[in-house]
Structure 1
Amino acid sequence: MTSPLISATELRDLLGTPDLKVLDASWHLDGTDARAAHRRGHIPGAPFFDLDAVSDQATDLPHMLPPVPQFAADMGRLGLRESDEIVVYDTVGLFSAPRAWWMLRTFGAMRARVLDGGLPAWVAAGGAV
């Protein structure tokens, strides 16, 4: 079994592989605008995975799993297929990315992984933003 974590150096070596997709799934408990932070800098080619939007909108409870058709449509808009190798990260290091990883795995993306240390580890390893 492949580890659910991937190091920044491993990801750097894989970047550009056709079926590799990287997602910024940052979300902040203190209300920091993660989408704005994504616009300021992210791993090349990584779209923003909005944990608030990719949730069940029919409930007042936050971050509940969305219905299958909604999740499929949301991931399609991000250019993802369940067969892709998907690496999820966040700007904190390991905070919200595991939630997105769990969602992806729950809906069948069995090649999903989490960037160990997130964006800080990526930058420390010399990765471009």
Structure 2
Amino acid sequence: MRKTQLLIAGMLTLAITLTSCSSEDKAVQQQENARTVELAKTTEMLDFESSLKDWMQAKRENVGTTSRAAADEQIARQAKALLGSIGENETASKEQTTDELVRATMRAYSKKLTEQYRAQNQ
């Protein structure tokens, strides 16, 4: 009888300990999730990212000139749209090669994302 009571008490203690640890883990996980910042990307940002992926792939694979020209045209169009939406109209209106335009867009885009991140963390 005494052994049974000790066994039950031990099991209850173990169950309570595991439950409390589990609750602490959930609380820590919720805090970490709260720290994760979701940046609200515009459609121009998402379109640029998609076009950038396609453009880089076409450039890496050395596809035919027609496909490469289409990829260049699309990335240039998306880059100018993104630059216009984030207020970099001066950069968008410059006459530059596709590579230069993509680099300038990526710098401006990175700057914009950093600003958004800092604004959400204040």
Pairwise same-fold verdict (TM > 0.5)? no
TM-score, normalised relative to structure 2: 0.29
Bigger proportion of residues as strand:
1
Higher relative contact order (CA 8 A, sep 6+): 1
Bigger proportion of residues as helix:
2
TM-score, normalised relative to structure 1: 0.28
